[in-house]
Structure 1
């Protein structure tokens, strides 16, 4: 059975001048255009393809990989807005449709938006910004568990994130020690599982990476300068004070904290941001 809006592994059943047909649910198969056919593909071969509807609402296959499949969340750029809705760039020739009634606000071309991909009642692939209704309320996580995060949107106290393509979480501002923006995909850890079912996450493993204000200042300095600073724990006190406004002793303590947490490393040239 062919799954619309998903990657499928399908058998080549017929060759034509303009491509090949792959075994599918419809008579005659599903077309993979000639420009998409891998070199050396033959009858009987199995190809991994993404299946969607073309501009005539006919199933078509592509060897290209869209930025998301049906059932997934992602962040996409709005390329057009017209009388029926918005259209998003998802990496395929036919843009992804986002109906007006699936928008939480009116969108503008050029902006990026977090969406969930679904099949509408006609079988067409579409997107919605009403992602909350597609997030699971009952998930099974453990404190400290490694998870994948999609940064969703900013709030007054941090960022809402989507955890493992299934649940909502909160990344508190106090746990952010590097630049974060909506649309980013990051690795993180479960920080707390609250009794009300809400989840908080952090970017560093619990017990590591918590730093004082001076250490945060050093990290921000490194991030703004390609992860490098010439000032190490043997640098002149005056140079340290001029750059960071603190004593050499305080600076060395902050460096020690960051190295212990695995955030930086030091060599003869200076200090380097890890990762």
Structure 2
């Protein structure tokens, strides 16, 4: 049979199916919960201690039940990550259904990462997802640590796709970004040049799953050498963020828009 229902009578719901359901219910976001000591981090020398707390990672509830220590490498910078690693095998003690039965979970652990953070899609064949909860900077014998606030249901600021529209970033500290928090999409941009972009006005594209159901408009501006020129920005159901440019003022566009996901 090619059709099933995982929550059917007498059926067995696997951890993978359970995680897939929970992940979809929170829009496939990951982050820490307001539980315990919120995964606070202290450091003594090169020893970092992660306090109690919980996080949702790819639909899996991860908990630090007691403070956990991890050793930081000397003379390095990097991140402390809660890591879900499905390549590991959990250890089983006793017989299922008996009081002695227990599972030692090896598929989650703290990892110190000095290179790229791995963030596979665990619900679509991925193996490893690392959620940064702290960043560190160490010397030979000591380190400083800053807690990374992963507010649940918050993607954090991510770069818009401007390559597909041909827009360019220009000037001091430019950006074109989006963020999704609690089912609201926030767009912001500064120092965007659309002179050679599609139609001479397209800034970038939001991911398809975050597109609005109708075209959204908002105020924006172009900062010229001597004046600031008002304009109108749009983001439409085809995912495109674009502006109604004024004359030839296309080179230093700034603005922001937000809209709820339906």
Higher Cα Rg, which structure: 1
Higher strand share: 2
- Higher relative contact order by CA 8 Å / sep ≥ 6: 1 or 2? 2
TM value normalised by structure 2: 0.31
Relative to the length of structure 1, the TM-score reads 0.30
